[in-house]
Structure 1
Amino acid sequence: MLSSVHWLWLVLWLHLTSLEDVEAQFPIPCTRQEALDSRTCCPLWNGSPCGEMAGRGDCAQHFLEGADLPFDYRVDWPNSFYDKVCACYGNFDGFDCGVCSPGWQGPDCLEPHRVDRKEITDMTEDERELFISNLDHAKHTISNRYKILTSNDTTKAGNFKFHEATVYDLYVWLHYYAAKKYADTDDDAAHRGPAFPFWHRIFLLFIEREIRLLTGNHNFFIPYWDWTRTDHCNICTNDYFGAVDPDGHIDQGSRFSKWKVRSPSCSFLNASFLLFRKPGKDRSADTLPTSGDVRRTLCEDNYDTPPFNKMSKHSFRSRLEGFDIPRDSRNLQSAMHNLVHDYFNGTMSHLPTAANDPLFMVHHSFVDKLLEVWLERHRYASYPESDEIHKAQKKESYMAPFFPLRTNGYYWNRNILSLGYKYIEHSIPHPGAVHIGEVYHQIQWLWPVVGVACVVLLCVIVGVAIKCKGEKKTS
């Protein structure tokens, strides 16, 4: 029988999936009436649109006038709203070209900037406290850069409502917006397709930068949580993201106990739900992925395969996302990324609300780490191109709803060092296994050794055979 908490989530989930509203984040200058009327999102930077006078970018046309508007404004982003947006030059970035691209800093964005993303349990106490404090600050501070859009029909002129939101809640709603399914399909802009890991990579970089701008902590980074190192939620404590009681409520000793869940089912500024989680209490998802699951995932040679959705088999993306489920004794209904979401049995387990739980970002940081390991192993792979791929996730389609415009294929050949970060292995070796990132490198060196050994062995065998033949002749 379902508990009262389960019933609450069932009712909430049914309500969420029946909504017609769609929401997203928009730069504040582009929410003003003159920007909407002119269909131009080219905010001023230092007195000129997109910092044109400073050589940072220009206000570029990207949509032919008179063309039909897309059926869903995540498709052909951002054609439902603007014909012109900023196109940034060099290392400049942002909706007004006023910030630096990931990996760069300084007044002219010419100074390299790198951070090390650590495993969260390997952070020092001071590092952990600063990280959590910065998150809490972002949760309770209104953004001065973006607003939330709510609209029933974005193709009708003037049917826009914009709301203020905190920095962290912008991040939450951005994920909901991308995760919302298109009408009568299982498709969305960021899941069940080849864009999945890359969309989430840029999603993490987005909130990382917004928190840096808010706090002034330019070295803020999102740690990763290696869930293969444990058989339970070892970060569900008040030192990390909050202990939970038997009913799934966050312990009052944690600052996360007061975090309200933002969802499309209630007024954005009057949310009444609090974070909750019951890790491991759902029998269909009572375990976390193992290092063996990770190794099998990394062994897939194809990045993605037809039909390029949740039905794809022998696909790294599908295995990583968790739709290609391993056949083992656990009888799982999900795997890898999806299994971790399901394991928490609460806020994290439903797409529209998942990003409300700060566990989301450290989970996805590890997923991003695994993506980088696979890309290092498959340097000659490429983003798939096929008519079977949903339009919003095609290689040449712009990632919604990010500014400036970047295609899904743009980040394929840009490794994480070029984006300003790298992953640091845990200081304590993985119990009973080598570091995931070292698996391939060890195998790389193994094959030449095996090859040389085989050649030497062959030479020895041939030498012995010749010697034996010579001895027979002399006898």
Structure 2
Amino acid sequence: MLLSCGFMWSWPVFLLCLLCPRVLEAQFPRLCTIPEALESRTCCPLWRGSPCGFDSGRGVCAPHPARDLPKPVDYRINWPRAFYDSVCTCWGNYDGFDCGQCLPGWKGPHCMQRHHIVRKEITDLTDQERENFLSRLYKAKFSTSDRYMILTSRDTTVEENYTFQNTSVYDLYVWMHYYSAKSYAGSENNAAHRGPAFAFWHRVFLLFMEREIRELTGDQDFYIPYWDWTRTNHCNICTNQYFGGAGQNGHIDNASPFSKWEVRCHSDKIFHSFSFISKTICPYQERLIRNPGMDPMFKTLPTAEDVENIMATESFDTPPFDKTSRNSFRNKLEGFEIPLDSRHLNASMHNLIHRYLNGTMSLVPTAANDPIFMLHHCFIDNDQVHPAQRAQAYMAPFFPLRSNSFYWGRDTRSLGYVYKEESTARTATGRDDGVGLITKHNIGGYNSVWLDSIYIYTHTYIYTYIYIYIYIYIYIYIYIYIYIYIHIYTHTHTLLTKVRDIWLLGEIYGKCKSSRYSDIIS
């Protein structure tokens, strides 16, 4: 049946997804789910006949460095030590759990060709571009992933407790955010929010989803557009032309295909900690819900002026590197550090969008069920501690292993995409009628004022260069003056010439302090 948005609804695919059999003793990636992989604690799938494509020069199966800690009940900590001792380490521009893919920004049989895309603002897409994007989302929602499975058991201290299940490509994406956004036991912290890794984790998350949809559809230029919520004072994409207009009781209008969009894991919203959730797979129980602007506490969207204000913040992050950090670009962007003149007392920026949409998006762990989530985070990406967010901590649950620091110091061009300037400009306080804010996105990557502290912290060799420079400077300075001093008192017949030379050197170094020289010159 052809739907109003111009793409096809496939009930057979939908039913196939719902009826996928449960699989025990499995783990994602799918090729690491076999008993041999779990028993050997090795996730090094074959690529063209050798583990990690070793014979093709793509990577090697190697132990991953990790601290020796007791096996935690919450297996997200010290990722992926609860499951594997050895995983693929990819060389060069190769990537993927088996090193069979290219790093973001690269393509070709040997990953030597640059691959750049331009992420456009969603309302700037042509009708065909919009339909292509939405149809690919639908295919991802109702196509079982042949690359990954999701882990649905919580306690991994006993291997027999492992429970895993097939899932669609889109719901894999939903599950990964849920998996990382649930708090650790006894803590408010998690791997993806309320800390320095917030922006970088979501950047990798978006790249992961783009790549999985490219694998599914064969469209290597597929990308996620961004939603600039500063353009208007309402949700201008909450219409049937985009992601569905308002229906009854907060549901999506029946004329939109997204009215059939079922959500995963929304039913466990009363549980904040991952470890205390029931052991059953989160069933499909609810439809997508969205009531934009209907919560009296969160009736408006952030403005361009709000974004301008946080862009002036000098420090990327500040102690204690959590939601209580002050004068922190990251915390302001995430929306926990709220300006005194804010229209909202409980949320701003990123968090305010979640609250404003007032539905599925408002519960952060399961917010990715709403496809607007990815467009929202593309805009956050465009603008841009718990142990899981330290620089060298591995980002759960991605393969191959990538530390948070791997994405620090990389601009978006090196990852294969840039953002297209908007066709509709807007003022800082108004909408759609002035100089656009989009020109202020961090096009140079992380080389900006508010990231100086990260560069100093992570790249300590900068100090070494400074010390070497100081030592050389002092050495040359002392050597020249000693040489001249000796030369004066051993060659008195050239005293006046030497005094002139000394004075010139003193001018150069700004150190002409000797009364002897001054008396003679005068």
Q: In structure 1, give the amino acid aligned to 2:86.
A: K
Per-residue deviation, 1:269: 7.8
CA deviations over 1:8-42 (Å, ceiling 9, x no partner): xxxxxxxxxxxxxxxx9710011111111000000
| C-alpha distance in 1 between matches for 2:329 and 2:296 | 26
Secondary structure at the residue paired with 1:238?
coil
Q: Describe the superposition over 1:424-452 as per-residue Cα deviations: whole angstroms up to 9, x where unpaired.
A: 011122234422243589xxxxxxxxxxx
* Superimposed CA distance per residue, residues 241-263 of structure 1 (whole angstroms, 9 cap, x where no aligned partner): 00012521111211111111011
The residue type equivalent to 2:181 in the other structure is: A
Conserved? CA contact 2:194–2:322, under 8 Å: yes
| Alignment equivalent of 2:218, drawn from 216, 224, 229 | 216
Q: Please, which runs of 5 or more residues in structure 2 have no aligned partner?
A: 1-25, 269-279, 427-431, 443-522
**TM-aligned CA deviation for residue 69 of structure 1:** 2.3
Map residues 200-349 of structure 1 onto 2, 5 A cutoff.
Answer: 200-263=202-265, 265=267, 268=281, 270-328=283-341, 330-349=343-362
The aligned residue for residue 135 of structure 1 is 137
Could you tell me which residue of structure 2 aligns to residue 199 of structure 1? 201
AA aligned opposite 1:325: I
**Cα distance in 2, alignment partners of residues 259 and 84 from structure 1:** 38
Counterpart for residue 448 of structure 1: none
Q: Any conservation in 2 of the 1:249–1:276 contact (CA below 8 Å)?
A: yes
* Structure 2 CA distance for aligned equivalents of residues 67 and 304 of structure 1: 28
**Match of 2:47, as an amino acid?**
W
Amino acid at match of 2:331: S
Once the two structures are superposed, residues 394-434 of structure 1 have per-residue CA deviations (whole angstroms, 9 ceiling, x without a partner) of: 01111111111111111011110000000001112223442
Q: Deviation string for 1:133-181 (max 9, x for gaps)?
A: 0000000000000001111311212221110000000000000000010
Could you say which residue in structure 1 is the equivalent of 2:406? 410
**Residue 189 of structure 1: aligned partner:** 191
- Deviations along 1:264-284, one digit per CA (max 9) or x if unpaired, are 648658412000110000011
Cα pair distance change 1:329/1:101, threshold 3 Å: closer
CA distance in 1, matches of 2:367, 2:67: 38
| Residue 54 (structure 1) aligned to one of 53, 56, 64 | 56
Partner of 2:435: 434
TM-score between the two structures when normalised by the length of structure 2: 0.74
Deviation larger for 429-438 or 206-215: 429-438
The size of the alignment, in residue pairs, is 401
**One-letter amino acid of the counterpart of residue 145, structure 1:** R
SS at match of 1:284: coil
Q: What is residue 362 of structure 1 aligned with on the other side? A: 375
CA distance in 2, matches of 1:129, 1:72: 41
2:454 match? none
User: Partners in 2 of 1:44 and 1:329 — Cα distance?
Assistant: 54
Contact 2:291 2:357 (C-alpha < 8 Å) held by counterparts? yes
The answer to whether the 8 A contact 1:31-1:162 is kept is: no
CA contact (8 A) 2:382 2:441 kept: no
Matched residue of 1:133: which SS? helix
What is residue 422 of structure 1 aligned with on the other side?
418
How far did residue 209 of structure 1 move? 0.2
Distance change (3 Å), C-alpha of 1:131 and 1:194 = same
Pick closer, same or farther for the CA change 1:143–1:439 going to 2, 3 Å. closer
Q: Distance in 2 between matches of 1:127 and 1:64?
A: 44
Deviation at 1:63, TM superposition (A): 4.5
Which residue number corresponds to residue 110 of structure 1?
112
Between the aligned partners of 1:440 and 1:275, the Cα distance in structure 2 is: 31
Structure 1 residue ranges without an equivalent (≥5)? 1-23, 372-388, 442-475
Secondary structure at the counterpart of residue 223 of structure 1? coil
2:481 alignment counterpart: none
Q: CA deviation at 1:332?
A: 3.2
Q: CA deviation digits over 1:55-95, x for unaligned, max 9?
A: 10000111579753245322211000000000001111000
Report percent identity of matched pairs: 58
Deviates more, 1:322-331 or 1:277-286: 322-331
Q: Kindly tell me: are residues 213 and 331 of structure 1, through their superposed partners in 2, closer, same or farther at Cα, counting changes over 3 Å?
A: closer
Q: Which structure is larger by alpha-carbon Rg, 1 or 2?
A: 2
User: Is 1:390 paired with 2:403?
Assistant: no
Contact 2:74 2:155 in 1 (8 A): no
Deviation, structure 1 residue 315: 0.3
Cα deviations by residue, 1:193-241 (Å, 9 ceiling, x for unpaired)? 0000000000000000000000011110000000000100000111100
Asked if the contact 1:289/1:339 (under 8 Å) is kept, the reply is: yes
**Residue deviations 1:321-380, cap 9 Å, x none?**
000112226243100000000001100000222000000000000000001xxxxxxxxx
C-alpha separation in 1, matches of 2:74 and 2:435: 46
1:164 and 1:61 mapped to 2: Cα distance?
28
300-309 vs 259-268, which moves further: 259-268
- The answer as to whether partners of 1:262 and 1:268 remain within 8 angstroms in 2 is no
Q: Distance in 2 between matches of 1:166 and 1:329?
A: 40
Matches within 5 A, 1:162-181: 162-181=164-183
Distance 2:101 2:218 in 1: 13
Distance change >3 Å, CA 70–CA 110, structure 1 → 2: same
Secondary structure of the corresponding residue to residue 152 of structure 2: strand
Structure 2 residue identity aligned to 1:418: S
Counterpart AA for 1:73 = Y
Q: What is the CA–CA distance in structure 2 between the aligned matches of 1:408 and 1:205, rounded to whole Å? A: 14
